[in-house]
Amino acid sequence: MSDAIASSEERARIDGKSTSLFDFYGKPKFLKVLPLSLQHLLAMIAGVITPPIIVAGVVGASVEEKLLLIQIAVLASGVCTVFHLYGVWKFGARLPAIFGVGFAYVPTLVAVGAQYGIEGILGAQLIGGMTMVVVGYFIQYIRHLFPPVVAGTVVLVIGLSLYDIAIRYMAGSGNVNAANFGDPINWIVAVVTLLTVLIAAQFGKGVIKLSAIIVGIVVGYLLSLSLGLVSFDNVANASWIAVPKVMPFEMEFHAAAIASMVVICIINSVQTIGDLSATTVGGMNRELKTKELTGGLLGNGLTTTISSFFGALPTSTFSQNVGIVAMTKVISRYVLALAGIFMILAGLSPKFGAMITTIPYPVLGGATITVFGMITMTGIQLLVKDEMSARNMTIVGLSLALSLGIAAEPTAIEQFPAVLRDLIGGAPIVVAAITAFTLNIVLPKKSLSDEAKEREKIANEDKDTKEEANNQSDNLSQRSVHAD
């Protein structure tokens, strides 16, 4: 071997004995891994079960169908996560990332479901997943179109767009129309949870410091129990074992539904690029490799395609877990694989899954708001890898202005065609990705030095113009003297 420092993968191949939490191939002791895995699980569980709950309401699903959609979403998320951690052939990111049923698809799923039902969603999803595989295959040829200024903008908007979710959770629910939304008792629980996370992260040591989120959730959960905010009704009614079935719903193929799903799947591929870039930059202090990006997109397309046969909704990376990796720097795939196994168990045992969902929203909000902040900072880290030239600042600034502006005032696009409105109205990441990607192609490539030379040229032109004007003035003066 050369004198260069071996990569973690090479070291693992040499001895296979790493027990470090900060090595992707490390295998730490189970008791050290357990709390770190649970905090990944608890950070994303609400995001996993929310899309099927929303979709079930839109398509008019029965109680049994609703529970089935939730169960298979959790199971698919676990399988998808483990699949990406270890990979199969060219499929799989092989990075410390959590994958699962994604919230970013919800606006499109709602629009398609309202018109074509769950059958139309799954049929369109099948084609959308195949499209993602195609994007994954060709990404190696167009990787240069997603430099840090584009990926960083996407990650930055991901972080900024999650803040309202965290605040709604802290206020008591994901739904602002909930009866107890904004109740001071919810805020007390959320703030206690948040303070616990901060204290554990900043003053704790060892595992306590690394598992600050789970420590905060435990404290917040115990406080919620004492205040009567925890309900076990769903746990009592849930069955112990439930095995998923192939094709629990039929598939239907409608051109409009397929077009909408293909577009959102392509856009979600850009989000995946951003999340995986944030994972390597924030957690591993390096750039995302093309092989990892290709594997991540191919794998996500494959799992989205296969999920449609079982009734699971489209999959994507989970940004909140990217934030945890960036905050703790724990990248051992053993940690995330255990979280994936817990999700699989929860998917096979509805009772276990129901137990996880008893965690009140204020606890989840208080525990994860710092994580969302870390995603934002990771986006900034990515951005500064490129020069902050006037060109790049224009790309970032305009992308932020349009994406967050439309998200803050969705009525501004109410008169747009329904397909376009559904695509961009509920997801600022879509607008940001399209804007940043397009501007990066259209705007002329100018570095800071190019801009400095341009200013110098303008200054010299102004100087020459002034000298010429002075010369002309002198000539006129001389002519006037001669005339006298």
| Confidence check: pLDDT of 9 > 60 | no
Q: What angle do CA 364, 367, 371 make, to 5 degrees?
A: 115
> Helices 163-171 and 148-161 meet at what angle, rounded to 10?
20
The rounded distance, in Å, linking the Cα atoms of 36 and 337 is 11
Q: Can you list the positions of beta strands (E) in 355-483?
A: none
**Residue 364 in domain:** yes
Tens digit of each residue's pLDDT (9 = 90 or more) over 210-225: 778 878 888 999 999 9
Question: What is the residue type of 76?
Answer: A
Structure tokens at 466: 């002034």
Candidate ranges 144-148, 303-307, 361-365; pick with highest mean pLDDT = 303-307
Q: Higher-confidence residue: 100 or 408?
A: 100
Asked, for residue 416, whether it belongs to a domain, the answer is: no
pLDDT at 320: 76
Cα separation of 211 and 64, whole Å?
A: 36
Predicted TM-score (pTM) of this structure: 0.72
Q: What is the pLDDT of residue 147?
A: 84
Domain extent at residue 159? 18-385
pLDDT above 80 (res 422): no
Residues 257-303 have pLDDT tens digits of: 888 788 778 877 877 888 898 899 888 888 889 999 999 999 999 99
Highest mean pLDDT, choosing among 5-14, 106-115, 315-324: 315-324
Question: Residue 88 has what DSSP assignment?
Answer: B
Q: Looking at 232-236, 286-290, 362-366, 390-394, which range is the least confident one? A: 232-236
**Stretch 415-432: mean pLDDT:** 73
Residues pairing with 332 in the sheet: none
pLDDT at 194 over 80: yes
For the chain, give the percent of residues with pLDDT over 70. 87
Render pLDDT for 230-252 as a digit per residue (tens, 0 to 9). 888 777 777 788 788 888 999 99
- Please give the structure tokens belonging to residue 308: 């449609």
* Average pLDDT over the chain, rounded to an integer: 82
The reply to whether 458 falls in a domain is: no
Assess if residue 322 is contained within a domain: yes
CA-wise closest residue to 156 among 435, 443, 448, 439? 435
- Flag whether 82 is in a domain: yes
> Is residue 427 over pLDDT 60?
yes
In-domain check, residue 78: yes
Report which of 43, 4, 116, 7 is spatially closest to residue 335, judged by C-alpha positions. 43
Question: What's the rounded mean pLDDT across residues 347-366?
Answer: 80
Q: What is the DSSP letter of 227?
A: T
- Residues near 193 by Cβ (< 8 Å), separated by ≥ 6? 216, 217, 219, 220, 223, 362, 363, 365, 366, 367
The answer, yes or no, to whether residue 56 has pLDDT greater than 90, is no
205-239 as b/e: b if 16+ CB within 10 A:
eebeebbbbbbbbbbbbebbeeeebeeeebbeebe
317 within 8 A of 292, measured Cβ to Cβ: no
Mean pLDDT of 68-95: 92
Residue 42: closest CA among 412, 342, 300: 342
For residue 88, the cross-strand partners are 91
Residue 479 reports pLDDT greater than 70: no
Is the per-residue pLDDT at 45 higher than 80?
no
Which residues, in sequence order, are bridge partners of residue 317?
Answer: 99
What is the distance between the alpha carbons of residues 328 and 372, in angstroms, rounded to a whole number? 13
Instruction: Decide if 194 is inside a domain.
Output: yes
Question: Which residue in 360, 278, 372, 308 sits closest to 45, CA to CA?
Answer: 360
Domains of the chain: total:
1
The torsion defined by the Cα of 398, 403, 406 and 410, in degrees rounded to 10, comes to: 170
269 in a structural domain: yes
